[in-house]
């Protein structure tokens, strides 16, 4: 009689955890583990990095009450999960030190703890502020399989995987809280492939999903065989628990059984998904009943409205058109059409009387001075008063509609169109905004084509066009990307084919407007470098190009 193959079924629990909600996160771990055992017949369930605390917990880690909750949460999981092994992330307190750790709990016992060895301290990460690095490999037996325990950044350098293999690991299990940015999944799998080819072991990789302030976690958990082939990939931005079997081949090597491999998303598809998740989680995790936003008839607010409806449903979105003497009939018609297509509550509130009253009040102060951007900014601030009034009265959060190109060069009004609680497209360049609008319309037209085709304008003076102040967005965005994301110097940007005086003018605008960006609301991070956690330029500085 042939012997049955020895097998290990691992379930990857791709979950959206809430930072700071230790009790709720522990309960989710317990319930998910039980369901994975009952429904999927899982032997081991992997949960994301810092599952108990949520990621990133930041300075919550320093609170003694938080430490007590973490320790109680881990004990709760240990006591209540008995029928299936689980590996979950938690902040481990040891005297005055804190470790970013993973606990393997089996049959009600903590059978192994791995302390993350590689602590990232770049881009959005500042783990060295909080954690001490671990130094030892961690290998644990689960149903006869020797599993090497790793946490996120541990696979981005070769040593931890090599130490795990030397300690007897037959497969690598990695828990992660890896934030989304464009092309990030491709980068993760390239790194994972280098590790498995180096040590000759398969890998199970689970990642968190959901929005946490500026950061978005996209999931895309996967399993890779020892040849570096992805044999299972979970879908992006979808919560779920995904099971994969590992068996021994005729040479006693551990191999994963191929399962469903979700296709990679297009650039526009992944960015749009991140924006929807970011809005949904920011609004819902804060308990807002919905959102209010200005709808101008332009491309930025049109895209933001589509995102808001996809994230929250039309019944939770209120769009407000606030025309002035400079608002074109085209803008009025297009805004109304989009609001009707999407089925949102729609209001038209003129700012003309407010604008005239403000100018009359300031008449003596402005006497003898020419009309300039001051009058334009007053219109923007009149709109802010109306939107914030609605927000305060209804409890709905104000969404800000500005894009990255505008935020970079200060083409926005402080305490005007920059006001709000969250800025969905804050990290989207103007050219990306157009691509996203086309992407969303391909799934069902919700943005009038005329909004996409017309030249962009703030409509704060007669015949105004963005290009009058900024030049062509194709040029502006390329220069901004080189400076912001690549840290390129003026000479390096000029060498890419751009006019030196144009480059200098753009970079001067970026520098001058740092004070504005510091006062902007948070927004979804989708690029390699966003204004926020990974942009820390001094407001006051004497650096010259």
d(CA 150, CA 202): 13
Instruction: Judge whether 428 counts as a catalytic residue.
Output: no
Under 8 Å CB-to-CB from 59, ≥6 apart: which residues? none
Residue count of the chain, please give it.
545
Query: Which ranges in 15-150 belong to alpha helices (H)?
Result: 22-40, 64-80
Q: By the 8 A CB rule, do 363 and 356 touch?
A: no
Cα 145 to Cα 44, 168, 170: the distances in Å are 11, 10, 7
Query: Which residue has tokens 């209804």?
Result: 394
For every residue of 488-538, which 3-state class applies, written as one string? Answer: CCHHHHHHCCCCHHHHHHHHHHHHHCHHHHCCCCCECCCCCCCCCCCCCCC
Question: How many of the other CB atoms lie within 10 Å of CB of 2?
Answer: 4
Would you give the distance in Å from CA 363 to the centre of its chain?
Answer: 46
Report whether the peptide linkage leading into residue 190 is cis, meaning its omega lies within 30 degrees of zero.
no
Element (H, E) at 90: strand 85-94
Q: By the 8 A CB rule, do 469 and 458 touch?
A: no
Beta bridge partners of 255: 247
Instruction: Judge whether 404 counts as a catalytic residue.
Output: no
Q: Which of 531, 517, 436 is nearest to 483 (CA)?
A: 531
Q: Which of 112, 176, 163 is nearest to 137 (CA)?
A: 163
Q: Which of 138, 189, 155, 148 is nearest to 172 (CA)?
A: 148
DSSP one-letter code for 539 = S
Q: What is the DSSP string of 278-326?
A: HHHHHHHHTT-S-EEEE--SSHHHHHHHHHHHHHH-GGGEEEEE---TT
Question: How many of the other CB atoms lie within 10 Å of CB of 157?
Answer: 13
Q: Which of 35, 62, 46 is nearest to 10 (CA)?
A: 46
Q: Which of 49, 92, 189, 214 is catalytic?
A: 49
d(CA 68, CA 240): 29
Q: Which of 152, 153, 181, 184 is catalytic?
A: 152
Tokens of 178: 């890896």
Instruction: Judge whether 49 counts as a catalytic residue.
Output: yes
Q: By the 8 A CB rule, do 161 and 132 touch?
A: no
Q: Which of 92, 116, 376, 516 is catalytic?
A: 116
Would you give the distance in Å from CA 461 to the centre of its chain?
Answer: 36
Query: Which residue has tokens 């072991």?
Result: 201
Strand residue runs (E) in 340-390:
345-348
**473-484 and 500-512 are packed helices; what angle lies between their axes, rounded to 10 degrees?**
70
**Residues tagged active-site:** 49, 116, 152
């Amino acid at each position: 009689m042939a012997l049955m193959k020895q097998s290990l079924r691992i379930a990857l629990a791709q979950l959206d955890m809430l930072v700071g909600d230790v009790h709720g996160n522990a309960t989710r771990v317990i319930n998910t583990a039980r369901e994975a055992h009952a429904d999927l017949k899982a032997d081991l369930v992997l949960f994301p990095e810092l599952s108990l605390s949520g990621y990133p917990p930041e300075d919550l880690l320093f609170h003694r009450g938080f430490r007590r909750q973490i320790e109680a949460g881990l004990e709760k999981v240990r006591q209540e999960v008995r029928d299936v092994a689980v590996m979950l992330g938690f902040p481990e307190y040891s005297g005055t030190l804190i470790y970013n750790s993973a606990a393997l709990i089996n049959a009600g016992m903590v059978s192994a703890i791995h302390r993350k060895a590689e602590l990232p301290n770049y881009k959005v990460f500042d783990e060295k502020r909080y954690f001490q690095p671990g130094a030892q490999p961690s290998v644990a037996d689960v149903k006869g399989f020797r599993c090497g325990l790793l946490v996120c950044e541990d696979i981005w350098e070769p040593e931890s995987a090599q130490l795990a293999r030397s300690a007897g690991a037959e497969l690598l299990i990695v828990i992660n809280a890896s934030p989304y940015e464009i092309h990030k999944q491709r980068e993760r799998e390239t790194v994972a492939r280098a590790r498995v080819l180096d040590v000759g072991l398969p890998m199970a990789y689970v990642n968190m999903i959901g929005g946490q302030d500026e950061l978005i976690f996209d999931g895309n958990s996967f399993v890779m065989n020892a040849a570096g082939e992805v044999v299972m990939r979970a879908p992006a931005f979808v919560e779920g628990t995904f099971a994969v079997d590992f068996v021994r081949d005729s040479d006693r090597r551990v191999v994963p059984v191929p399962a469903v491999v979700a296709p990679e998303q297009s650039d526009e598809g992944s960015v749009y998904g991140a924006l929807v998740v970011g809005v949904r989680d920011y609004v819902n995790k804060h308990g807002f009943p919905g959102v209010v936003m200005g709808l101008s008839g332009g491309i930025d607010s049109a895209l933001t409205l589509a995102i808001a409806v996809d994230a929250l449903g039309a019944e939770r979105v209120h769009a407000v058109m606030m025309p002035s003497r400079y608002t074109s009939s085209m803008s009025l018609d297009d805004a109304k059409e989009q609001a009707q297509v999407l089925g949102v509550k729609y209001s038209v509130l003129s700012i003309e009387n407010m604008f005239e009253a403000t100018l009359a009040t300031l008449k003596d102060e402005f006497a003898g001075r020419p009309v300039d951007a001051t009058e334009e900014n007053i219109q923007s601030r009149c709109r802010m008063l109306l939107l914030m009034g609605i927000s305060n009265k209804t409890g709905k959060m104000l969404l800000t509609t500005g894009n990255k190109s505008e935020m970079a060069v200060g083409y926005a009004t402080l305490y005007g169109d920059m006001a709000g609680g969250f800025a969905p497209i804050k990290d989207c360049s103007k050219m990306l905004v157009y691509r996203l609008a086309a992407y969303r319309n391909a799934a069902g037209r919700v943005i009038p084509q005329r909004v996409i085709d017309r030249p962009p304008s703030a409509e704060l003076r007669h015949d105004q066009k963005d290009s009058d102040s900024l030049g062509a967005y194709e040029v502006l965005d390329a220069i901004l990307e080189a400076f912001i994301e690549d840290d390129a110097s003026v000479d390096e940007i000029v060498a890419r084919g751009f006019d030196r005086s144009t480059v200098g003018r753009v970079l001067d605008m970026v520098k001058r407007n740092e004070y504005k960006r510091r006062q902007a609301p948070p927004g979804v991070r989708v690029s390699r470098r966003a204004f926020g956690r990974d942009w820390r330029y001094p407001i006051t500085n004497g650096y010259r190009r």
